[in-house]
Amino acid sequence: MIRWFIVIFLALMLISWVSPLLQKLGFGKLPGDLRFRLFGREWFIPVTTTILLSFVASLVSQLI
């Protein structure tokens, strides 16, 4: 159980580290990525970026 908490924590840290880099490359600004303001806070739901990165990850996993 503790292993899963560690894995999830490390994954979230990796995502938070890579996210600004991906935004500089144009990810997160694709059509289909939702960005809106609600209750005085900006919300971001990267639907298209998630699908694209998932597709790339599956292609890479098939090549390895």
> What pLDDT, in 10s, does the model give residues 3-43?
988 988 888 888 778 878 877 887 778 898 888 898 998 88
Element (H, E) at 18: helix 2-24
**Local confidence band at 59 (pLDDT 50, 70, 90 cut-offs):** very high
| pLDDT at residue 55, as a whole number | 92
Contacts of 42 (CB under 8 A, 6+ apart): 35, 36
Element (H, E) at 33: strand 33-38
Separation between Cα atoms, residue 24 and residue 16, nearest integer Å:
14
How distant, in Å, are the alpha carbons of 17, 47, 49, 50, 61 from that of 34?
A: 21, 7, 10, 12, 28
What does pTM read for this prediction?
Answer: 0.61
